[in-house]
Structure 1
């Protein structure tokens, strides 16, 4: 994939994918039957949890799924954890409509409501606590963020970085970043001399590119609103005026020989977050047209699709909660530890003893409160791998012929090579995101990228499956030996 100003509109960090959610185990386009039983899926640069949620929704009750996630930035990993946290929120802690609204606001809005910002800070505090626990204790289910979410495969320095990011979401640096100015600066840089005619540019990108590629459901009003301000979803009345901290990152620039980190919005400003959940749906009534205009908007479809995915999670979770640590068992452990400490040191005062007990009790209550907020999905787990672990997977026996499905984004496809075959299970499906919705590319560049993807897949031992000409993904299956 070419870099530089050619893809300035796509940004240097990928906050959302450039294609709709896919069930990565669904093989309706090939002759291979859908795998069942114990399933493993590898995601390389998926950027958001759309494929995870969609794949879970297609599982049978008897299936188990282990998703392995690899991203090229810890900011993206942090955001993945945040969106999965929202997705796993129990009905008792957050109603379906509220959960959908919060998810889409955090997912696609540069600025959010104060209520959503409060929830972001609350969840960031929970995630901070969970990540620091994995660094302070041996790895087990009690120190994971959640039985479904596992960060123990990350390096300590990566978990330190995660903790720093979550802390920054709770307490943003002062003075607060003006998201409006940051967004407008990106638009000015991207359009250059065309900035004064930006509405015409936005309309051209929508009608001559997105609509031409089959995204007619994206309405002009919502697309131009997003291109102008970065706010894609306005489900509720209110002021969308607080910077969405989960969409901020640091970009390093060279100035007079020195490297300077600038915090701002460095993601997509052209293609839109509507692509992930808002351009396809199984509910055909949402795609009805009247006078050659779609009746429903991309926001309407996004809401319907996300709600459907969340209902699927609730069904699998049975509205059950994560098993809690009981207060008595925790206090017993704390007291045992404390008595041993007193026996060895014999220097603790009564005040220190009471302080330790109080701290342990508060920590237990925090962990208990954190766990009861989330649903448990039996047989489903998501593990995050280190950023540099992809070339090392073929050398580890646990990953040998493990993955039933492998997904790779357009921005990460250059990391794939022939060693990928060693990690693929027999009949594995490889799905690669194409450049179809990278609007800054020409048709020739888009076609050239698709050709290169096919070459990489062939070198890795995969052959093309049946695909549609207008699909956002290229699908391959592992060639039989």
Structure 2
């Protein structure tokens, strides 16, 4: 799996709203969203607890938090388990870019996020922002176990060891440093040379093969120009025709490399991630506004970068507005306020008190201790493909069925679930390797008393996720 590297920076599969598990299959049409605002009947319900194992990308957190207003007022608790502190640092930076209480305009906030998320080289203004916020995190995290991104979104480090907190601090020190050179463009080229090998000089033909024969059949929103630009330079989201000039240090990870002369392991900063698929899977594969997915005369109305911008923009608008009243107001970010009323009092009480989100950071050695911290278990457990071997270890953490669910939850949403990422977009795998992965995941789940949730989109092996429930709770979606 040389093409996707040893460390993941982004999700290859779609982002999930854990209060609407249909989003693991497809996005709803815009005509189906924004149900009537719920009352406050579920405000005292136990928080919805979600374990994210190896997700490497905050996309699931972003979508679940942004759309929390659609599902009542149930608070959210995430436990994010990652092996590398660099992944935590990148998550914090990306969540801060979208959710921080700053005066940054909506479009500037979206551009900032996209620049950090999917561009090898940053605009100078983005790099300055990264340095400034890294300094803030360095001064805040050692003095407080809780980092408040917004009044109702906070990150805690109480589950991390002191050494892991020091590693997190070191990562932020690296982010803000501009004294030591970090030639990310040269590292990108080195990754390409290693991946292509003797065929490096004919890589254009290899890129064309990967695009047309491997990705287009499973990722129809991906356009050829954007994909070619990513494979050549690592730039995925052109912003206002401005080019990047500073290395995106949030893409850097740490690996232990063996010195060929000394024969000893040396820890190095470098780029060890994806060079073949790209960062569009989380937000670029589908959209509630289906008009952006259309084609005219065989040409896509929007390229995949514009689809991502549309989706992320909609999520930010929805989060900022807490709950929308009409689809047009969510899209425009504008809502009429009655004459003589101030903006805060123009909203019903349930709107003025949004859900509280707590994000706990943890590492794999902490897993055996989680049942003591969360004795009732987790409502949803997400496991990435890289962590699928830990399915037997974490499946006992699944909560028992409870009545504390959203009022309008579907049958599948109302069950504790284990969601395992499929290898649909790992294009270097053979058909036999994919089949073996599927067989192994199903076998491990079966031994733990889990069965696939019966859903029309779960049939076959082409889905992005396996969704499991306890055997006696198997459900059938209409």
Question: TM-score, normalised to structure 2's length?
Answer: 0.80
| 1:246 corresponds to 2:223 | no
Residue among 261, 280, 285 paired with 1:279: 285
| 1:17 corresponds to 2:11 | yes
What are the within-5 Å matches in structure 2 for residues 64-463 of structure 1?
A: 64-90=75-101, 92-134=102-144, 139=145, 148-172=154-178, 174=180, 176-213=181-218, 215-256=219-260, 257-316=263-322, 378-394=355-371, 396=372, 398-417=373-392, 420-426=395-401, 427-463=415-451
The answer as to whether partners of 2:254 and 2:270 remain within 8 angstroms in 1 is: yes
Q: Which SS does the other structure have where 1:474 is aligned?
A: strand
The answer as to whether partners of 2:395 and 2:418 remain within 8 angstroms in 1 is: no
Q: CA deviation at 1:118?
A: 0.6
Q: CA deviation at 1:264?
A: 1.6
Q: CA deviation at 1:299?
A: 0.2
- Say what the alpha-carbon RMSD is for the aligned residues: 2.2
Q: 1:68 to 1:98 in 2, by over 3 A?
A: same
The answer as to whether partners of 2:398 and 2:417 remain within 8 angstroms in 1 is: no
Matching residue of 2:328:
none
Residue among 459, 468, 473 paired with 1:476: 468
The answer as to whether partners of 2:380 and 2:398 remain within 8 angstroms in 1 is: no
Q: 1:401 to 1:378 in 2, by over 3 A?
A: closer
Q: CA deviation at 1:153?
A: 1.7
The answer as to whether partners of 2:73 and 2:355 remain within 8 angstroms in 1 is: no
Q: Which structure carries more helix by proportion?
A: 1
User: Which whole-Å CA distance do the structure 1 matches of 2:189 and 2:22 have between them?
Assistant: 43
Q: 1:152 to 1:73 in 2, by over 3 A?
A: same
Q: Which SS does the other structure have where 1:384 is aligned?
A: strand
The answer as to whether partners of 1:418 and 1:459 remain within 8 angstroms in 2 is: no
Matching residue of 1:53:
62
For structure 2, which runs of at least 5 residues remain unmatched after alignment? 25-41, 325-351, 402-414, 474-478
The answer as to whether partners of 1:226 and 1:272 remain within 8 angstroms in 2 is: yes
Matching residue of 2:334:
none
Q: CA deviation at 1:423?
A: 3.9
Matching residue of 2:38:
none
Q: CA deviation at 1:468?
A: 4.9
The answer as to whether partners of 1:277 and 1:301 remain within 8 angstroms in 2 is: yes
The answer as to whether partners of 2:67 and 2:315 remain within 8 angstroms in 1 is: no
The answer as to whether partners of 1:430 and 1:476 remain within 8 angstroms in 2 is: yes
Structure 1 runs of 4+ aligned residues shifted over 4 Å read: 143-147
Q: CA deviation at 1:477?
A: 1.3
| 1:42 corresponds to 2:57 | no
The answer as to whether partners of 1:154 and 1:384 remain within 8 angstroms in 2 is: yes
The answer as to whether partners of 2:419 and 2:466 remain within 8 angstroms in 1 is: yes
Question: TM-score, normalised to structure 1's length?
Answer: 0.79
Q: 1:253 to 1:388 in 2, by over 3 A?
A: same
Number of residue pairs aligned between Structure 1 and Structure 2:
403
Q: 1:294 to 1:29 in 2, by over 3 A?
A: closer
The answer as to whether partners of 1:421 and 1:461 remain within 8 angstroms in 2 is: no
Q: CA deviation at 1:144?
A: 5.6
User: Which whole-Å CA distance do the structure 1 matches of 2:252 and 2:9 have between them?
Assistant: 10
Structure label with greater radius of gyration: 1
Q: Which SS does the other structure have where 1:276 is aligned?
A: coil
1:362-386 deviation per Cα after TM superposition (whole angstroms, max 9, x unaligned): xxxxxxxxxxxxx996422111123
Q: 1:384 to 1:88 in 2, by over 3 A?
A: same
